C-alpha cells in the first residue's frame, strides 16, 4: 500500500505531523499505557479525531515541547552523572 505525500502551497503549507500514542511510546521507549496516562493528566497535549473519537493523536511539536520540559526526568542515571560532572 503506497502512501502519497500531502503537498500544499501558500499560507496553509505547514501541516503539523501527527503521531499515534503507539508511535509516541516507541519514540520515548515507554509503554503506550504511560503515554495515555500523560495525556489523561494533561502533561502531554493530545486530541481525538474521528466520528467515535477513539483515535488519539499528538502533534510532533507538542511531543518535542514535552520532551524538553521533561528531559532531565527521562535521562538515565549515567547521563545525569555525566551532566553533573561538567
Note the pTM of the prediction, 2 decimals. Answer: 0.66
7 domain-assigned: no
pLDDT surpassing 50 at residue 1: no
C-alpha closest to that of 21 among 54, 68, 69: 54
d(C-alpha 75, C-alpha 85), whole Å: 15
CATH of the domain at 61: 1.10.1660.10
8 domain-assigned: no
Q: What pLDDT, on the 0 to 100 scale, is given for residue 81?
A: 54
84 domain-assigned: no
d(C-alpha 47, C-alpha 58), whole Å: 7
More confident call, 85 vs 67: 67
Amino acid at each position: 500500500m503506497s502512501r502519497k505525500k500531502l503537498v500544499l502551497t501558500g499560507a496553509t503549507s505547514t501541516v503539523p505531523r501527527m503521531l499515534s500514542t503507539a508511535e509516541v511510546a516507541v519514540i520515548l521507549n515507554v509503554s503506550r499505557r504511560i503515554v495515555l496516562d500523560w495525556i489523561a493528566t494533561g502533561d502531554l497535549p493530545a486530541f481525538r479525531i474521528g466520528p467515535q473519537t477513539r483515535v488519539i493523536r499528538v502533534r510532533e511539536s507538542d511531543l518535542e515541547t514535552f520532551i524538553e520540559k521533561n528531559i532531565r526526568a527521562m535521562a538515565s542515571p549515567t547521563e545525569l552523572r555525566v551532566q553533573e560532572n561538567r
